[in-house]
Amino acid sequence: MKKLLNQLFEGNKLSRDDIKGLSRELFDPSTSESEIASVLTALRVRGETPEEITGIVEVLREKAMPIEKNIPHITDNCGTGGDGSHSFNISTTSAFVLAGAGARVAKHGNRSVSSKTGSADVLEELGVALDFSGNEVEELLETNGIAFLFAPHVHHQLKPIMKVRNALGVPTIFNLIGPLTNPVTLETQFLGVYQRDMLMKMATVLHKLGRKRAIVVNGAGYMDEASLAGENHLVLLEDGELIPFTLKPEDVDLPTYSNEQIVGGDAKENARILESVLNGEPSAYLDTVLLNAGLGLFASGLADNAKDGIDKARQSIESGAAKEKLNYLVRYSQTRKQAMSS
């Protein structure tokens, strides 16, 4: 570790093999908190390369809860968080719309970090379990087209790292890589980032991780979601090519709203908002989900473009298909809980 750490402090870039070796040492119980802090600080000061991000993600996925079955055509739409917008649970709500439109979604998420309520908080409020086993995740993906993977449950090895992260109190590489560490093998992905200058870098990482197709977005107001407040900046990964583009509300026939109009609340309030969207109640929340779900369908290859994706997302909601995906997940969780308590 000392040799590689010295290379980092000297400003040198590590190869994927070197960063993977260093990462395995990071997660070794014998590694001290000061050593962990030194690695995270050195990477942060110099700036993480796509190779280094990819290597760390690969090691995290190696050590995650195993998902044995190779289920095709899986996507995820988890964002990095960190934008400080305190928005409602856009990607979580959108995930059910994606599933209702025919996508197969392994929704990876956590409790609140930068928002008022994280995906796990709102889903728990709705009655969804947070501790599905690998077999249960596989079953849900095959029967319901959507499963939830609670990050701390599937990444036990991260506890010491999280302790150091909290003590440092500054952003580290782990603020970026959460959405990349889904233990399910993803074919496509819609990824939101709060740093606009990371768009190409994160798209490059997705390519290195084997995504066949993906979109990375930084929204108007620097949100880690697509926003209806103005111009969104995106990169499309298609056939190994990275294609930057921009998108405004008027480009897809949606109204403009300020980001203040999509602020959320506590878990109970955000659960109400989520259900109102899946019930098709007109609002800034609904239109924001249509935009993000539409882009998610475009990213997954189920729509020809963003506008086509929005039309398919609207049909997912209006038909009741999106709401039924949530209802199924809640029923499954309740039946499971009853079986475990009997």
Q: What is the pLDDT of residue 159?
A: 83
Under the banding of pLDDT at 50, 70 and 90, the label for residue 114 is low
Whether residue 322 has pLDDT greater than 90 = yes
Q: What is the pLDDT of residue 37?
A: 93
Whether residue 169 has pLDDT greater than 90 = no
Whether residue 219 has pLDDT greater than 90 = yes
* Number of CB atoms found within 10 A of residue 11's CB: 10
The 10s digit of each residue's pLDDT in 16-55 is 999 999 999 998 989 999 999 999 999 988 899 999 999 9
What are the CA-CA distances from residue 301 to residues 66, 238, 247, 313 (Å)? 26, 10, 18, 13
What is the average per-residue pLDDT within 203-209? Answer: 98
Of 31 and 159, the one with more pLDDT: 31
Q: What is the pLDDT of residue 161?
A: 86
Q: Cite the annotated binding site for Mg(2+) by residue number.
A: 91, 224-225
Whether residue 113 has pLDDT greater than 80 = no
Q: Is the separation of the CB atoms in 309 and 292 below 8 Å?
A: no
Domains in the chain, CATH or no CATH each: 1-63 (1.20.970.10), 74-328 (3.40.1030.10)
SS3 of 240-307? CEEEEEEECHHHHCCCCCCHHHHECCCHHHHHHHHHHHHCCCCCHHHHHHHHHHHHHHHHCCCCCCHH
For Cα atoms 145, 274, 99, give the angle at the middle one, nearest 5 degrees: 15
What is the average per-residue pLDDT within 231-259? Answer: 98
What pTM was estimated for this model as a whole?
0.95
Q: What is the pLDDT of residue 160?
A: 85
What is the average per-residue pLDDT within 280-288? Answer: 98
Q: Cite the annotated binding site by residue number.
A: 79, 82-83, 87, 89-92, 107-115, 119, 165, 224-225
Question: What are the residues whose beta carbons fall under 8 Å from the beta carbon of 339, sequence distance 6 or more?
Answer: none
Q: Which range is least confidently modeled, 62-71, 95-104, 239-248? A: 62-71
Whether residue 331 has pLDDT greater than 70 = yes
Q: What is the pLDDT of residue 163?
A: 86
Of 141 and 70, the one with more pLDDT: 141
Whether residue 336 has pLDDT greater than 60 = yes
Percent of the chain with pLDDT over 90: 82
Return mean pLDDT, the chain: 94
Whether residue 151 has pLDDT greater than 80 = yes
What is the average per-residue pLDDT within 267-293? Answer: 98
Q: Cite the annotated binding site for 5-phospho-alpha-D-ribose 1-diphosphate by residue number.
A: 79, 82-83, 87, 89-92, 107-115, 119
- The tokens describing 270, both together, are 């955000």
Whether residue 155 has pLDDT greater than 70 = yes
Side chain identity, residue 92: T
Torsion of CA 97, 100, 104, 109, to 10 degrees: 30
